[in-house]
Each structure stands twice: as structure tokens, then as C-alpha cells.
């Protein structure tokens, strides 16, 4: 016969868990909307920076572009992977999908005969690669919950320095793009060497465009740094929104599962309680019959 006390304790425990998951779902739902707004607000600026860089590259001769270290291309011998994860768990398969994609990419690069180093962003990625025999350039953990341009700039400057000093020949970003509240996709994006999107031929060369102080100085001191910062900043924003959406969905599913479990345990409890009552009635009737006899 089922232990009524144990079932009551189990029901109470699941009810407490349901309260926690429900509260976490509400918090994540409130945060993901703000994260989505930040993400949507940053996209036009990043697109404009890319567009301006495309236009200027279209107007500069390829020979002049070779003088810019960030645009120089060389044989790729060593690749660094910036792996963007979260510091916390309880967000479904969000971190697992990113780490799985990173491991597959590492295997692909090694099969091509390239050296690979990782730059984990977030505790989950740092923990996943802690025991893996692979070079870790630097870990970025315990970053602000809301991504900022400052932290993107800090990471970008470190990566730029490594690339300019030829310690690495290419950099890729592995992170999650926010599509909608239900769908988030893990993507691999080329970061260095800088490869602008296709479709720059529609920019006409114009003699009316003036650049100060000079076109090359503008590229080197303003546009290229802004480009590398904003590409990484956009990736961090996308990852933040994706993490919160994944957490909201995970906590919603957990709350639903807890409710179903409570309903099932309550049914078991009621059956067991009814069985105890029936057993007690049978014992009373049997005792009464015994006294009569």
C-alpha cells in the first residue's frame, strides 16, 4: 500500500518546484522582451556600419587596402573560435547546442590540418572546454547580464591584437541568433579576416563624397574598429536574447510538467487514501461480525 505521508511530501516538493519554475518563467519573459528590443535597435546601426564600409572599400583600390592590417589575408594555419554561451544553466538545450556545434567545427578544422584555439565567453563554454586538450587563449566569464559595447570592445581589441601580431590567422564566432521566441539558431560567422557581405557593386563611385581627414585614416581609425566592435556586440545581443527565450521556454515546459506530475501524484494519493478508508471499514465490519459470533 502506498505511503500517504511520502506522497504528500512529494506533492509538496513538486509544488514548491512549480512555484520556482513559474517565477523564473515570468522573469525570463520580462527580460527577453527588453533583450529583443535592444537586439532590434542595434541591428540598423550595425547594418549601417557595414554599408559604409562596403561603400568605402568599393571606392578604394585593392592595393591601398593591403596596407590595413585587419583586411590583410594570409594562409590560414591557426583559427580561433569565439564560443558564446551563458554563465547560468536552466535554459534547455541552449548551451548544449552551442558547445556541440563548436566541437564539430573544431573537428572539421583539425581534419583540414589547421591549429585551433578557443576563446570561451560564458561559464558554460569555459567549463565545457576546461578538460579538453585544446589551447584556450582567454576566458570571458561573469560578464554583465545585459551585453554592453564596452565588453564587446574589450574582447574585440584582444582578438584584433592577436590577428595583427599574426598569432592567429582567422577568427570565427560561434553563437546563437535570435529568430523568434520559439526558434533560435546556432550560427558560425567569419570574423577575421574581415570579409564584407556580397552585393557592393551597386555603390557608384562619387566625386562628391568627401572624407576627412583621409579615406584610409577614416577606415583604420574609425570604421574598421567600429565594425569589429559592433559585429561582436551584435553577436552578444543575439546570444543574450536567445538565452532568455530558451530559459523562458524551458521554465514554461518545466512548469507544465510539474503541474502534470502534481495531478498524477494527487490521483495516486486519493486512490491510496480511499484504499486506506476502505480497509479500515472492512476491519470495523469484521470486528463487529466477530463480536456477534
> Using CA atoms, how far apart are residues 212 and 217, in angstroms rounded to an integer?
8
Q: Which of 42, 91, 125, 160 is catalytic?
A: 91
Beta bridge partners of 118: 81, 136
The separation between CA 259 and the C-alpha centre of its own chain, rounded to angstroms, equals 28
> Using CA atoms, how far apart are residues 172 and 156, in angstroms rounded to an integer?
12
Could you confirm whether 160 is annotated as catalytic? no
**86 and 236 Cβ atoms separated by less than 8 Å:** no
The 10 Å CB-count burial string (b at 16+, else e) for 140-163 is beebeeebeeebbbebbeebbebb
- Collapsed DSSP state (helix, strand, coil) of residue 208: coil
> Using CA atoms, how far apart are residues 115 and 264, in angstroms rounded to an integer?
54
With DSSP H G I counted as helix, E B as strand and the rest as coil, what are the percentages for the chain, rounded to 5? 60, 10, 25
Per-residue DSSP letters for 57-79? HHHS-HHHHTTSGGG------EE
> Using CA atoms, how far apart are residues 248 and 242, in angstroms rounded to an integer?
10
The 10 Å CB-count burial string (b at 16+, else e) for 64-100 is eeeeeebbeeeeeebbbbbbbbbbeeebbebbebbbe
Alpha-carbon dihedral 223, 226, 227, 233, rounded to 10 degrees:
-170
Q: Which residues belong to the active site? A: 91
Amino acid at each position: 500500500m502506498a505511503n500517504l505521508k511520502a506522497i504528500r511530501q512529494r506533492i509538496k516538493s513538486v509544488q514548491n518546484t512549480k512555484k520556482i519554475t513559474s517565477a523564473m518563467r515570468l522573469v525570463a519573459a520580462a527580460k527577453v522582451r527588453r533583450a529583443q528590443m535592444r537586439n532590434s535597435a542595434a541591428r540598423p546601426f550595425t547594418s549601417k556600419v557595414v554599408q559604409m564600409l562596403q561603400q568605402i572599400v568599393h571606392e578604394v583600390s585593392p592595393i591601398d587596402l593591403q596596407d590595413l592590417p585587419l583586411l590583410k589575408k594570409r594562409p590560414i594555419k591557426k583559427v580561433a573560435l569565439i564560443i558564446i554561451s551563458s554563465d547560468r544553466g536552466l535554459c534547455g538545450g541552449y548551451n548544449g547546442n552551442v558547445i556541440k556545434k563548436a566541437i564539430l567545427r573544431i573537428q572539421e578544422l583539425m581534419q583540414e590540418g589547421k591549429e585551433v584555439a578557443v576563446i570561451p565567453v560564458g561559464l558554460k563554454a569555459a567549463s565545457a572546454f576546461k578538460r579538453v586538450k585544446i589551447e584556450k587563449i582567454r576566458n570571458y566569464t561573469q560578464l554583465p547580464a545585459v551585453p554592453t559595447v564596452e565588453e564587446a570592445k574589450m574582447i574585440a581589441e584582444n582578438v584584433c591584437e592577436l590577428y595583427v601580431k599574426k598569432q592567429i590567422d582567422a577568427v570565427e564566432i560561434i553563437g546563437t541568433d535570435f529568430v523568434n521566441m520559439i526558434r533560435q539558431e546556432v550560427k558560425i560567422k567569419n570574423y577575421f579576416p574581415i570579409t564584407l557581405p556580397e552585393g557592393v557593386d551597386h555603390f557608384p563611385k562619387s566625386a562628391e563624397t568627401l572624407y576627412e581627414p583621409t579615406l584610409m585614416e577614416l577606415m583604420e581609425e574609425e570604421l574598421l574598429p567600429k565594425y569589429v566592435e559592433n559585429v561582436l556586440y551584435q553577436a552578444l545581443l543575439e546570444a543574450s536574447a536567445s538565452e532568455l527565450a530558451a530559459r523562458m521556454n524551458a521554465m514554461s515546459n518545466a512548469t507544465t510538467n510539474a503541474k502534470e506530475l502534481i495531478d498524477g501524484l494527487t490521483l495516486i494519493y486519493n486512490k491510496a487514501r480511499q484504499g486506506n478508508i476502505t480497509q479500515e471499514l472492512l476491519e470495523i465490519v469484521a470486528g463487529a461480525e466477530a463480536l456477534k459470533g
